[in-house]
């Protein structure tokens, strides 16, 4: 099945699986990867200090580390389900750009909210990128049918995205599900939405100038 996947989607699945294996105690262990988890902002910027502090690279590296097999499995299932059709639509470069922007944007939002709520925490996981992919799928394929896992209810992708977004907002605001970076999930969706709007030249961004008209095939020079 993996050989049929687009290149970047397949690479993301393999990279996350390998790093999760290396995180296990019988190999390198979590402590080795602490400098690459998203640490809260503190007084200094030495990521290799005993407590671990924020460094800019963590805005990307945290998205390739996971805290449990279930955490990894459901994130990679979503990458598999939503990443492949998006990469086939956008191409490798745009898809990878989108995914990494969502990961970094999710981290920024989580850090900001954590500092405002005086509840900073170390964050890891691909969920910010995954929620960005979910948002993009709902925007590009709004009428495509998707299935909830629990309970197994089919619905349009647009409805699926709205329900997940509202649910994450409620859980993040109320604290009903502690230990989950809900605002990172929302941040991934927000940055994904902004990037798609930018690419489309839609508000809040200026319209993008049209490209040069394509010449008919019979007028193109042969190189």
CATH of the domain at 48: 1.20.1540.10
Residues that are catalytic: 127, 185
pLDDT band at residue 209 using 50, 70 and 90 as cut-offs: confident
Higher pLDDT, 164 or 67: 67
- Quote the pTM value: 0.86
pLDDT band at residue 50 using 50, 70 and 90 as cut-offs: very low
Higher pLDDT, 130 or 53: 130
Q: Is the pLDDT of residue 223 over 60?
A: no
C-alpha 47 chain-centroid distance: 23
Residues 6+ apart with CB under 8 A from 106: 63, 127, 128, 129, 131, 132, 181, 184, 185, 187, 188, 191
Residue 210, domain member (yes or no): no
Residue 218, domain member (yes or no): no
Residue 211, domain member (yes or no): no
Q: Give the residue numbers spanning the domain of 82.
A: 2-204
Mean pLDDT of the chain: 85
Tally of domains within the chain: 1
Among the ranges given (95-104, 114-123, 191-200, 210-219), the one the predictor scored with the smallest mean pLDDT? 210-219
């Amino acid at each position: 099945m993996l050989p049929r996947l687009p290149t970047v989607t397949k690479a993301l699945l393999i990279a996350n699986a390998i790093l999760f294996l290396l995180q296990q105690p019988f190999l390198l262990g979590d402590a080795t990867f602490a400098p690459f988890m998203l640490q809260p902002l503190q007084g200094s910027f030495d990521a290799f200090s005993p407590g671990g502090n924020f460094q800019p690279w963590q805005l990307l590296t945290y998205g390739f580390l996971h805290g449990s097999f279930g955490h990894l499995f459901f994130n990679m299932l979503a990458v598999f389900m939503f990443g492949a059709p998006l990469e086939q639509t956008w191409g490798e470069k745009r898809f990878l750009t989108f995914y990494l922007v969502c990961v970094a944007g999710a981290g920024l939002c989580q850090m900001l909210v954590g500092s405002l709520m005086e509840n900073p925490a170390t964050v890891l996981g691909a969920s910010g990128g995954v929620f960005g992919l979910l948002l993009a799928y709902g925007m590009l394929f709004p009428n495509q049918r998707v299935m909830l896992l629990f309970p197994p209810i089919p619905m349009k992708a647009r409805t699926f995205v709205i329900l997940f977004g509202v649910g994450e907002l409620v859980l993040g605001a109320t604290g009903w599900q502690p230990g989950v970076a809900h605002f990172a999930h929302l941040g991934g969706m927000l940055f994904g939405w902004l990037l798609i709007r930018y690419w489309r030249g839609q508000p809040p961004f200026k319209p993008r100038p049209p490209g040069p008209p394509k010449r008919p095939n019979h007028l193109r020079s042969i190189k």
